[in-house]
A and B are shown apart, each in its own frame.
Chain A
Amino acid sequence: MRRLQNHQRRSRPAHAGVRMALCAVLLVGGVGNLLAENWPTYRHDHRRSGVTGEQLDAAKLTKQWVYRSAFVPQMAFSGPAPRDFYNAPDKDLKPRMDFDRVFNVAVADGRVYFGSSVEDAILCLDAGTGEREWAHITDGPVRLAPTWHDGRVYAGSDDGHVYCVNAKEGSLIWRKRIAETDYRVPSDGKFISLWPVRSGVVIVDGIAYCGAGFLPSESAYVAALDAATGETGGPGTWKHARSGELSLQGFLLTANDKLYVPAGRSPPYIFSRATGKLEGQIKGGGGTYCLLDDQSQLIYGPSRSGGLELSNAEARNTVITFDGNHILVSKGRSYLHTDTQLHALDRQRYNELTALKIQADNRRRNLSREIKAFGKNLSSDKAKAAIAKMRQAQLDSARASKQLPSTVLWRADCGHPHDLILAGDTLFVGGVNEVAAHSAKDGKVLWRAPVSGNAFGLAAADGRLFVSTDNGAIHAFGH
């Protein structure tokens, strides 16, 4: 059930062609900010970039409607232990399994799509009014945002199936169980497959990619299905069962020929997109917040220390770290989002310096071990050389650290730590009972608006900002 607060009802153009024509006319007239883009999947695209060309005039945004579910999202997992009292007793642990904190949305052609972890359904709202257009009920929670593609909506369910439904009406086109076995067990008020589809669904070149299975003691499945039929057997399709230790949870990503599958608290896995072959696992921390930058490097977190790590498919080692919750990459800049601040960084310089520092720190650690092995015999030439090298590594690390502040192009206080997206040249941030907009040029605050709950899910599309909060509400702000 939902109640609707319709602040400013806007009807959706009846036909996409009409809509495009209207946009073209407006463009000619110089009102470019109304050129609406879709937000067809979680964080806009399969890199989960959180960046869209949709330009919203932040200062003119007003609340248009609020969709209020009668239920707060029912997350798959509880929060983390408060702290690691053994290693870091004064630092709160950040949640690494919170991919379903809110009803994240996909927006396309004037409709808003989301999954419900309570109502076990894929739901569709009119983007202009917030009225529910249709719902397709599955046999289990739908925890991750659906993906819209070419008039169809794809979603995974905790019942172990991938669903493809008609985007206009919600009628079932196909449904496919990923695991061989249909076995569902009680879990906090639901009956959930041992192989729930908690990866989201990614559509590339007519293939729907997904993962199923979260209990590492059971097999997990990664599949490439024909997006038209849900079947395997045709070109580019495959399905593989992997036994042992895989826990596929979090929005799947893809770039080039790789699939990246988040794995809950563990580091993400890398698969070949062409064959489904497991190519390896990232070394480092885990976390289900992931994005691929423009060089197809994976940024993920939060790590145990609470920050983000950057790795690439080849090395799979952490090469850069970020002390923040979120990061966006656009036009030579990184926007880093911490609990209290927003930073715009000279991306190349920051990455170079951080990489230097990590290399130096690794060198220092290795040399330290080497020196320890000498015991008290530190007067040998080898020992002296190692000590000299370690000192140099310390100096290199310190030098890089010292230069890091110079990479900050601007810094702004920001008390909205929950989410960050970039729409055109505006950064939107989500916080506690509030959302805000900052100029991407200089960080200045452009706009604030109240919302109900913690704003963990932002999307910009169709001339609107959509804000999903942890009390089950979806807010729409428009002009």
Chain B
Amino acid sequence: MRTAERTGLFALALWCGFVWSASAQSPTHHWRFGRPTGDLKVVPDIAGTSPARIVGEGEFLDSPPALRIVGRDNHLEITAKGEQTILPSKAITVEAWAALEKQTKYSNIAGYIQDNGNFEKGWLLGGHETRFQFAIGTDRLTYLRSKTEFEPGRWHHIVGTYDGEVMRLYIDGELDTTSTQREGPIQYADSWFRLAGYKDDNEVYPFHGRLHEIFIHGEALNPDQIRARYQASKDVFPPPPLEPEVFLSLGPYLQFETPSTATVRWHTREPQAGRLQFRMPGGDWRNADVAAGSRTNHSVRLSGLPHRAVFHYRIQGRAGARVGQTEDIAVNTAFNFTTPAVPEATGPFPRDELTDRYSAAAERILAESGISEGYCLDFGCGDGRLAYELARRSNLIVVGASDDAEAVRRARKRFLDAGVYGQRLTLHHAPEGRLPFPDYCFNLVVSDHFVATGKLPRHAVQLGRHARPNGGVMMVGKKRLVRPALEGAGSWTHMYGDAGQTSNSHDQLISGKTGDNIEVQWFGLPGPDAMIDRLGRNQGPLSHKGRLFTQGDNRLIVQDSYNGRILWSLEIPGLRRTNVKVDTSNSCLDDEAVYLAIRDRCWKVDAATGRLLHAYAITETGSDERPLDWGFVASEGRLLFGSAVARDASFSDFHGADKWYDKPTGEGTEKVCSDVLFAIDKQTGERVWTYAGGVSLNPTISMGDGRVYFLESRHPKILNGSRGRIGAPELYADLHLVALDRESGSVVWEKPVDHGKQPTVLYLCHWDGALVVQSSMPEDKTYNLFVYESKDGSELWKHKYPWRRSDHGHHVQHPVIAGDKLIAQPEFFELRTGRKLGDTPERKKCSTMTGAANLLHYRDFYDEVWDLTTGETSEWKGLRSGCWLGIVSADGMILSSESGGGCSCNFPIQLSIGYRTKNDY
């Protein structure tokens, strides 16, 4: 320890147990982040006695020596809250060589701070969105933000000084900005002394970037000193790497293929050799084997993946002579839902005269049925030979059933002894052919008995109920029977049910009461670990043709709606879109595909397999020449509809109390708006029409009767201002309701409208010739309904009424249209006349209502249904679908994806679940 001189520093009881000083430019603390020679987790304090401990993981880099810290789980800790450390008080200089890789709210380089309401103490140096910031707390905190914007990935010399009177922020050797708002000694309160991350009592923010060096001085260095220090080091630092989007045109994304393998795919803008690095848990970065040659479409198969563990990968690429790489992408193999192969070690059957017959039968069944995923019922399974051959050759979970209990017992033992029983193949005794399973569970129904004898099995009359509607195949007997869709079944193809945004599947089959005629059909995955905490008001589930599409956290999971079996999943960095109540969702379905709006493209992904079929691109660029993002997405007939929004205008965060997006005003209630709307021919990929009128409000884009409807702002301030996410009140000052022809994009009609000053939410939906605009107004805590004729925009009726609460989603409810009823919590009306029909059932919690033709499903405290034909409500006690739109209906099913994961409510279980109204098959 050096000798102390009590001049510039202040001793703080408890927090700062020592008094310390230094001569000019002799720092109090100095950390240099080169590759360590000793403890890999500790960066020594060259000038002081406060080593920085790496919490989580960091990556040491060369040229220049640096430590890369990325993400919420990783940072450097000097001291935990309450521990002693040495901190300057009268004056301070915080100096860093750092490269911030991401523009985030608080990308903190170094800090010891408490900023909790009016309680503001300490200091920090770091990034704030696109700029740098330096904060000093005396009685209050002042955040000094730089005029200079940082370029992600570029090395900068960032210095904040405070001499007791003036705060100064220097960027790259030059004075950038100053403030005299603070005076006197820096005040401290118990906190964490942290590098590469922000933490105080109630907030945590991650760091994304690289650190080369950090100094803390007990004096305010002067401009000459700072310039000299910058000049002395600046040549060490190379220019920044390429932003990934410069060399990447799509992806990367990952699809698990087997329990130990996955394929990563990506497209580059220029032909080049693909390069992927990966790091298994506890290992170092390694290069993956990539196919030789220059191309734009790349794929790498990763093998030997660990069970339930996190590994990382990143893509490297080039544009011209410059190189760059993506951020490190974490993949948790707990979300590998693929089906394990049948162990092959010891076959349960000897090779005999039946071997070829069963092999051929299994291959024929699989080929002719086209079914290789889901559940298979082998009715009259004998000793399980066909079941075994089918399981070996497919991803089917095969369930054998026989009315011969002794045969089942023998066959079970044979399979268990061979090590193949249980996971892919089970056998069950079915007295008189009866199985205690719900209808519709099986994708494929076969019979070993028929293969063996050419005759139908006993009790074959029981078979009919088992095949899944809408594509389930029965191959018992000589014919291949495919079960059609259920008559009266609906679909949920868009965020709010359909492109008309009615929040309704219009499914005729669902009705009744829980615990009575509505029964559980399946339960299980996905669970809370796969999802966004409390959903963050993201894209809800979609369902069509017996498949359920659920978006987790940058992940798409596709299940069979009738048995819950996960068919495929994709891990897609950048997929997540939150707070869609002020935006549009990012996904829709048609018969063939799921469409995903990701960055500037809309991916068309095969609904059955997860294979990327096409990627449609936005051709326009923004006013600042930056690429635009794909906003709205909808599908009707041959056309795919889209809109273009300013880059990163959509919300994507969900980490924090305010990222539940429940506030009636302020941050999170801005509306995401589109610059242009367009339609694309799905087959050819050609643009059919483009509309570029005013600024259209994304949550209002809706379709019906061959038209596209939306609200559009034409206020000059909006038209000439910054685009994308707009919170300015003028957005609502010159508002027009517009109807375009769906096929041509030409304006059918338009009219100026006044829907209030600054609504929390503003929705538009279409059904049966009526257009419904609903706004919720925080100023008087009301909902406002405006209903128009869709053919000409003439007003049918309007109504204003109070909302029930200003929190837990009661003020952001999306209306539901069910037949001639408009349900707009807390009241419901006749759609075309506005006659009030009653009040909606009392609801306590967060989600928005959704429904079918005759029944609404939603969350009260528990999940609940409201039968519109009887007016009765009933609930599923102890079950919750989550905090936004978590329950949909389609294909005769009510489908609830787990979506309340991180919530503090003490519900006993968390799972996804499917229900069905009992009826005769």
Contact = CB atoms under 8 A, between A and B. Distances in A.
- Asked whether A and B interact, the reply is yes
Interface of A: 1-2, 70-72, 74, 77-87, 89-90, 93, 97, 116, 118-121, 135, 137, 139, 182-191, 193-194, 214-218, 244-247, 249, 263-267, 285-286, 304, 470-471
A197 to B, nearest CB: 15
B520 A185 contact: yes
A86 B653 CA distance: 12
B901 interface: yes
Given A183-B436, A215-B879, A1 B345 contact: yes
Interface string B547-568: 0000000000000000111000
A281 to B, nearest CB: 10
A375 to B, nearest CB: 19
B531 A217 contact: no
B266 interface: no
8 contacts: A70-B419, A81-B533, A84-B903, A89-B203, A121-B422, A139-B426, A187-B523, A191-B437
Contacts, number: 198
B358 interface: no
B877 A216 contact: yes
A79 B334 contact: yes
Interface in B57-93: 72
Given A119-B422, A120-B421, A266-B908, 11 more contacts: A1-B416, A77-B911, A86-B657, A89-B203, A118-B422, A120-B426, A185-B437, A185-B521, A215-B878, A215-B879, A285-B906
Given A81-B901, A84-B902, A189 B397 contact: yes
Given A1-B343, A90-B199, A187 B524 contact: yes
Nearest to A139: B428
Contacts of A190: 426
The 7 closest A-B pairs by CB, nearest first: A1-B419, A216-B878, A81-B901, A78-B527, A247-B908, A217-B876, A119-B422
Contact of A78 (B399, B426, B526, B564): B526
B231 interface: no
B259 to A, nearest CB: 9
A263 B875 CA distance: 20
B901 A471 contact: no
A87 B307 contact: no
Among B514, B565, B909, B910, the one with the most A-chain Cβ atoms within 10 Å of its Cβ is B909
Contacts of B529: 78-82
A189 B423 contact: yes
Interface string B875-913: 111110000000000000000000001111011111100
Contacts of B346: 1
Contact of B655 (A1, A89, A249): A89
B685 interface: no
Contacts of A304: 904
Interface string B227-269: 0000000000000000000000000000000000000000000
A471 B308 CA distance: 10
A182 B908 CA distance: 23
A184 B877 contact: no
B416 A188 contact: no
A376 B445 CA distance: 74
B413 interface: yes
Nearest to B553: A82
Nearest to A191: B437
A188 B901 contact: no
A189 B308 CA distance: 18
A97 B909 contact: yes
Interface SS of chain B: helix, strand, loop or mixed? Answer: loop
A71 B902 CA distance: 30
B4 to A, nearest CB: 30
A264 B520 contact: no
Given A86-B533, A118-B422, A216 B428 contact: no
B745 interface: no
B565 A266 contact: no
Contact of B334 (A78, A246, A286): A78
Given A82-B533, A84-B903, A188-B524, A249 B908 contact: yes
Given A86-B534, A119-B422, A188-B525, A247 B911 contact: no
Given A185-B437, A245-B878, A216 B909 contact: yes
B524 A87 contact: no
A217 B518 CA distance: 12
B873 to A, nearest CB: 14
Nearest to B417: A1
Interface string B34-63: 000000000000000000000000000000
B527 A79 contact: yes
A97 B901 CA distance: 13
Given A1-B420, A71-B423, A286-B908, A84 B522 contact: no
Contacts of A120: 421-422, 426
The residue in A85, A97, A214 that gathers the most chain B C-beta atoms within 10 A of its C-beta is: A85
Nearest to A190: B426
Contacts of A78: 334, 525-530
Nearest to B374: A186
Contacts of B522: 185-187
Kindly name the residue among A89, A135, A245, A265 whose own CB sees the greatest number of chain B CB atoms within 10 A.
Answer: A89
Contacts of A118: 422-423
Given A82-B529, A186-B565, A77 B910 contact: yes
B390 to A, nearest CB: 15
B166 to A, nearest CB: 34
Nearest to A2: B419
A84 B659 CA distance: 12
A86 B877 contact: no
B416 A135 contact: yes
Contacts of A194: 520
B441 interface: yes
Among B334, B339, B426, max chain A CB count under 10 A is at: B426
A251 B526 CA distance: 25
Contacts of B399: 191
A128 B862 CA distance: 51
B304 interface: no
Contacts of A193: 436
B656 interface: yes
B555 to A, nearest CB: 13
A265 B907 contact: yes
